[in-house]
Structure 1
């Protein structure tokens, strides 16, 4: 779900740069990526570093090959040329093997890290109803779906590419500084180090703006992607309005916002790329300047032409490779900025999920309290008509153990809003007493179910739950991906429940959906379609009742659950609830549902409410 409404609550751009905030966020991710010293990722990383160091040894020997060729060619040494060529071929093949192995290990690390971080995010994201609070109520960050599916992927990919060069660079730089000082004196290594420090300082100032731009580009990418996902999910509804022109303008506006940010990112990357490329080429010139000093000073005048050429070749390789070690670090700036931008987004998501989890734990601290019953009159004490054949097997008396929930002086309204939907609501849901919640649209009927379920917090008062669970059928039934069986047993998994195929067939036949078996091919046939595209609204509501019957809970809350179903089937559905001893609390407008309920809770939309009996003498009419 898009979170544009939450964009205004984001911090300023200065929040996303190379600073203490980035370090804290990255260290938290680092601990998840390396949970133990002997974890798989730790061992793979050590192996990757070992391979990278061995590769440097091979590269060093390959770099000395030209000087050997200068000698053997200058002296016309055929045997030396042959052995040098064999050595060169072997070294090149070993280097190719090492390079390929390094890339393979890096890819394995990337995939493993992605799995670990995504699983860690899923554990927090799907904790109870955190995903609902993040997408619907809190909206503190943009596009959590993009952060989980894409930003984690790019973070792990970039980090797998830069971890080895970043760690082994101090070792290779130290080694080649020593080699350069032996061959050219202090002038060569000192000039290279000074050059690198200056380039690093310049790049530091150029990288932070790029990090911020990468962060905001990801956000706009998510907004643009969500717009197209919105059209894909609601294509038929939009088509009825013939709203192509309007949606085109809205989609183009999202694209315009994205392109605008991308242009800003490109401009900032231009300056960074100029600095990186200038450092690369100036570094190559600097290497020859460092070599020229001892040559012009006469330090090698005693050598022959062949020896001097070989020595210059060796010195050139050492100094140039030292420059290369530094410039590789500078070249990594682009990947580091991308990694940092994604690290900010993923780290921020972890922070918000942690905050929401702590807040939810506090909310639940009072939802689970046992409320005193002295101020409430049980609905079973109300004088109701005794003709209730549709409630076969219902208990004549209601005890505390048969209570689903109790509301005491509950005042509620939309989160982060001053609007009051209902004040000081008192009632309890007991076994055998069906309640019908009525009122005009927008008066707070569905909101009451959200408060009862814990999706919303009440402003005042308490919601106490009894020992019996309540099964909810939301206004729009939810269907996951998977088989027909998985839709029926949801939210359970196949390995969590006993197979009751006969009951499933019976209930599908009862609601008029037995043809789905033939259409799909069976309960366990995998389908790749979207259930919302394949089923009509009425079919979805009837399938939701099959799910209800399968679970057979003692209590159920139905939110307009028969609004798309005919009156005759509606009667069958409610009678089946009675046969299964399911006490229902229904939100509904249709007059036809009244006769299946004992009490009416009416909300007037102004904060007031009444609880009155419903006459049952029309049940047999």
Structure 2
């Protein structure tokens, strides 16, 4: 079922806080973000953001004022008034009101606070805070240049109105100069924001991936089915959330700066125009918001439906061979059609309401462009307002209107952000959970179970009740019983994948044991990677001869003949038979040589001779072995048999 918009709002604070913390805050100490220790990084982050904003504002004002003073000194009064007549008043205010001194004081205090707050942060965090401060400063510069460009347009129109060719060409040249200044500022602004977004996505993806892989969270989520498409949440939702958050954050900051700058411009022309603007914007946004709320809800639902359809396609690809064997194409076609039908029905509603919003916004924008002319027309015809002021007022009016309408204009982006944050928040909560149960105690290469109970995964009673067992170094145990009696469930408990239902367990440390499942996992990569998996790159490096010897011991000489280069990469799951895959698992085992091995029907696809050969290698290596299997031939390779009846009963017998 698709989540509701209210659910997205419910997850918004925690999910967005975690998303922002990934890129700008140090990891929270134990106690979580809700505790006092978890709030300290958030308060530090808020203080750093305030210091960054103050530093950016003060530095940008200093830079802008200094640039204008330098320009006035280079051009001289006459040329300055001809090319940039609107700068004279701004320079006078900058000098008489000591704006430069004030900006220097603000920047100095903010710099001291900023340096104190970033002290102790990791180098990567300091670089990201510096990047954010520079980007905020670029926004202030871009706003100042934009205001100057608006004033330049007004100066050009005024020159045309008085039919002064020298003023026209001078102000036109000044306008071109301002435009050329905007090019590098806009480039650095756009490039910097996208690089910041890239760093944000890199950090968040790593954090979420680590949580997804830690404590077998991926296995618990897959088994419970509580979270759909965790892969899409990490790959797609993080990307959408980070890009949208970056765009909306800097867009909102730019709107606030434009609002402050252009309101001052409008007040210099007509206070009545400002009042009219506020009333018209509030009324128009209230009408459009009613349309946007419905669109946001539909967009939110659309993401969930699209995710469900993609999951069905991925499921089809994952089980392609089984579906082909069963001739299940008509069934799959029906299922895909049903899911895609829901996508299309909701998408049609999205298109319809998006058209309504577009038409409403278009009508609103069309009417609003005449408001400044209607308000200022009387003053213009009476001579109290010049044509240049009328032009500047019209442009400033549009900029302030856009700033006040920012939240409504970007409502579609906000709805998509809420949907992604909801899905990321769900995944964070799910991966953050820790399974309850009695932890295993590392005791070296031996296993000791005391009154251990194993629950039925379906929640219906116990499969194994109060099992007592000891397994020493080099001993071999076979677990047998009818299908569904709990053999694999017991193995999962022994491996620590699920908690026991009761009792105590002392098991070898993780570095001392290894599991071979019935179908070995084949990683993406070369033949060398298959042999060394799951060792981290560079850990326990094995030479070429060692790798080839392990393949020969596992009776995979034909594989060496087909792939003499161990660096070759292919789809190993498709090119290797079931028996070759199981023998490859034993080759991994022989390379790693753990003291304790668990085999879950790991020889079911092998002939009896190969099975005997491989178990003989384990005996020679003096490994402790626990095997799960049905084949009668396995009894000869073990010392004892643990027989389960699936109703909680068990019996330990010698072989």
Distance 1:410 1:265 in 2: 55
Q: Deviations over 1:345-382 (max 9, x none)?
A: 2123222222x2xx23x43xx22358xxxxxxxxxxxx
CA separation of 1:313 and 1:205: change in aligned 2, threshold 3 A: closer
Report which of the two has the higher share of helix: 2
**TM-score normalised to structure 1 length:** 0.83
Partner of 1:146: 232
User: Counterparts of 1:585 and 1:492 in 2: how far apart (Å)?
Assistant: 22
The CA deviation string for residues 22-63 of structure 1, in whole angstroms up to 9 with x for no partner, is 223212222222226553332222222222222222222222
Task: Identify the match of residue 551 of structure 1 among 555, 575, 592.
Answer: 592
Q: Distance in 1 between matches of 2:3 and 2:457?
A: 22
| Residue 597 (structure 1) aligns with | 638
1:409 is aligned, of 447, 451, 457, to 451
* Distance change >3 Å, CA 431–CA 413, structure 1 → 2: same
Q: Is the 8 A contact 2:281 2:404 kept in 1?
A: yes
Q: How does 1:558-569 map to 2 (within 5 A)?
A: 558-569=599-610
Question: Is the Cα contact below 8 Å between 2:453 and 2:500 reproduced in 1?
Answer: yes
Q: Does 1:538 align with 2:579?
A: yes
Residue 287 of structure 1 and its aligned partner are, at CA, apart by 2.6
1:243 paired to 2:328: yes
How far off its partner does 1:277 sit? 3.6
2:627 to 586, 599, 607: 586
Q: 2:647 aligns with which of 603, 606, 611?
A: 606
1:39-438 correspondence to structure 2 within 5 Å: 39-137=126-224, 139-185=225-271, 187-201=272-286, 207=292, 209-292=294-377, 294-295=379-380, 298=382, 300=383, 308-354=386-432, 356=433, 359-360=434-435, 362-363=436-437, 366-369=438-441, 402-403=445-446, 405-415=447-457, 417-438=459-480
1:511·1:573 contact (CA, 8 Å) conserved in 2?
yes
Q: Secondary structure at the match of 1:611?
A: strand
Gaps of 5+ in 1: 1-6, 371-399, 615-621
Distance 1:66 1:134 in 2: 60
Q: Using a 3 Å threshold, how does the CA distance of structure 1 residues 432 and 175 change in structure 2: closer, same or farther? A: closer
Which whole-Å CA distance do the structure 1 matches of 2:484 and 2:579 have between them? 23
Cα distance, 1:147 vs structure 2: 0.6
TM-score by length of 2: 0.79
Distance 1:224 1:595 in 2: 50
Per the TM alignment, residue 488 of structure 1 is displaced from its structure 2 partner at its CA by 1.5
Deviations 1:306-341 (Å, cap 9, x if unpaired)? xx3233223222223322332344322222222222
Q: How much does 1:546 deviate?
A: 0.4
Q: Cα distance 1:330–1:216, how it changes in 2: closer, same or farther (>3 A)?
A: closer
**Are residues 313 and 128 of structure 1, via their aligned partners in 2, closer, same or farther at CA, if it must alter by over 3 Å?**
same
Cα offset, 1:103, TM superposition: 1.6
Structure 1 contact 367–465 (Cα < 8 Å) conserved: no
- Tell me the equivalent position of 2:520: 477
| Structure 2 unmatched ranges of 5 or more | 26-44, 49-117, 119-125
**Residue 496 of structure 2 corresponds to residue 504 of structure 1:** no
Confirm or deny: 8 A CA contact 1:211 1:341 kept in the other structure.
no
Provide the residue aligned with 1:373 in structure 2: none
Quickly say closer, same or farther: Cα 1:367–1:67, change in 2 above 3 A.
closer
**Cα separation, 1, equivalents of 2:624 and 2:172:** 88
SS at match of 2:594: coil
Separation in structure 2 between the aligned mates of residue 209 and residue 449 of structure 1, nearest angstrom: 51
Match of 2:562 in 1: 519
Q: What's the CA shift for 1:235? A: 1.8
Aligned to 1:445: 487
What is the alpha-carbon root mean square deviation over aligned residues? 2.6
Give the match's secondary structure for 1:367.
coil
Alpha-carbon distance change, 538 to 500 in structure 1, aligned in 2, over 3 angstroms = same
Query: Structure 1 312/367 Cα, relative in aligned 2: closer, same or farther at 3 Å?
Result: closer
1:394 maps to none
- SS of residue matched to 1:407: strand
Contact 2:256 2:403 in 1 (8 A): no
Deviations along 1:177-219, whole A, 9 cap, x unmatched? Answer: 222122122x211222233334455565555555544443333
Instruction: Tell me the equivalent position of 2:83.
Output: none
Q: CA 1:541/1:203 → structure 2, altered by over 3 Å: closer, same or farther? A: farther
Contact 1:558 1:584 in 2 (8 A): yes
Q: Does the 8 A contact of 2:266 with 2:273 survive in 1?
A: yes
**What does residue 393 of structure 1 align with?**
none
How big is the shift at 1:586? 0.8
Q: Distance in 2 between matches of 1:52 and 1:457?
A: 53
**Across the two proteins, how many residue pairs are aligned to each other?**
557
Distance 1:91 1:13, change over 3 A: closer
For the residues of structure 2 that align with 1:103 and 1:50, how far apart are their CA atoms? 13
SS at match of 1:325: helix
Match of residue 100 from structure 2: none
Corresponding residue number in structure 2 for 1:395: none
- Taking a change above 3 Å as real, the CA distance of residues 261 and 203 of structure 1, as seen in their structure-2 partners, is same
Residues 266/248 of structure 1: CA separation in 2 closer, same or farther (3 Å cut):
same
* Inter-partner Cα distance in structure 1 for 2:413 and 2:226: 27
- Counterpart among 529, 551, 554 of residue 486 in structure 1: 529
